[in-house]
Amino acid sequence: QEHRMKKILILNGPNLNLLGTREPAQYGYTTLPDVEAFCKAHGEKIGYEVECLQSNWEGALIDRIHEAGRQYKAGELLGIVINPGALTHTSIALHDAIKGVDPLPVIECHISNVHAREEFRHHSVIAAAVNGVICGFGIHSYELGIEAVAAIVNANKKG
């Protein structure tokens, strides 16, 4: 049952289901199912079970975050890595949902370096609600996000 506790949730927001075909110059040619498989493989390698969900619906992401909050309290989940897509720049509701499940560790991640792109991508309304932000490492941003959750979990153990 110790193994069951070591679960990390990967959330992907709007349009990330189009990975592989959507603006490949920006996001690469790897599909979402492949990215999710890499996340699961990476998690397994370092001893974590990885569950993945993508939704184009803000409310579905919010519902899953609330559920994650309950799972965290029950000792069934360690943390979340979320790529909110364009909701990054607009969704106060997602910000509030993440705040609402504090102190559940949440890492915001982006495939592209949003700071090197259009001005409207430079600001995240999510960033102030999460433990940390990773961006610009292509699909490796997700693996780094998993590492970040693991680092928080281990730091909490020591402290």
Give least dist CB 130 to ligand DQA, A. 13
Phi and psi at residue 34, to the nearest 5°:
-70, -45
The answer to whether 110 is a known catalytic residue is yes
The answer to whether 27 is a known catalytic residue is yes
* Part of the chain binding ligand DQA (CB under 6 A), chosen from 3-11, 36-44, 71-79, 109-117: 109-117
Residue type present at position 158: K
**Residue showing tokens 């949730």:** 9
Q: Which is nearer to ligand DQA, 54 or 112 (CB)?
A: 112
The residue annotated as part of the active site, out of 42, 72, 110, 142, is 110
Q: Is 42 in the site for ligand DQA (CB under 6 A)?
A: no
Contacts of 143 (CB under 8 A, 6+ apart): 38, 39, 42
Produce one character per residue of 25-57: b if its CB has 16 or more CB atoms within 10 Å, e if not: eebbebebeebbebbbebbeeeebbbbbbbbee
* Part of the chain binding ligand DQA (CB under 6 A), chosen from 37-45, 53-61, 84-92, 98-106: 84-92
Q: How many CA atoms lie within 13 A of 9 on its CB side?
A: 23
Pairing state of beta strands 7-12 and 79-83? Answer: parallel
Q: Which is nearer to ligand DQA, 97 or 114 (CB)?
A: 114
* Part of the chain binding ligand DQA (CB under 6 A), chosen from 38-46, 63-71, 105-113, 148-156: 105-113
Q: Is 83 in the site for ligand DQA (CB under 6 A)?
A: yes
Binding-site ranges for ligand DQA (CB under 6 A): 15, 83, 85-86, 88, 110-112, 114, 121
Q: Which residues are catalytic?
A: 27, 110
